Amino acid sequence: MVDIKKLLIKILGKLPSIVVDTVSTGSFNIAANNVRETTISIAKTGYTPLGIMGYNLSGSGVSFCFPYHLYLDGNTAYYAFRNNSNGQVTGVTLKLYVLYIKWGG
Which residue range(s) make up the domain with 92?
15-102
The answer to whether residue 68 is domain-embedded is yes
User: Which helix (H) or strand (E) segment is 95 a member of?
Assistant: strand 89-102
CATH number of the CATH domain containing 96: 2.60.40
> For residue range 50-78, what is the model confidence (pLDDT) as tens digits?
999 999 999 999 999 999 999 999 999 99
When divided into structural domains, the chain yields a total of 1
Contact by Cβ (8 Å): 70, 78: yes
Cα–Cα distance for residue pair 30/36, rounded to 1 Å: 6
Contact by Cβ (8 Å): 17, 102: yes
Q: What is the pTM of this model?
A: 0.82
Share of the chain above pLDDT 90, in %: 79
Cα separations (Å) of 86 from 57, 73, 93? 19, 33, 20
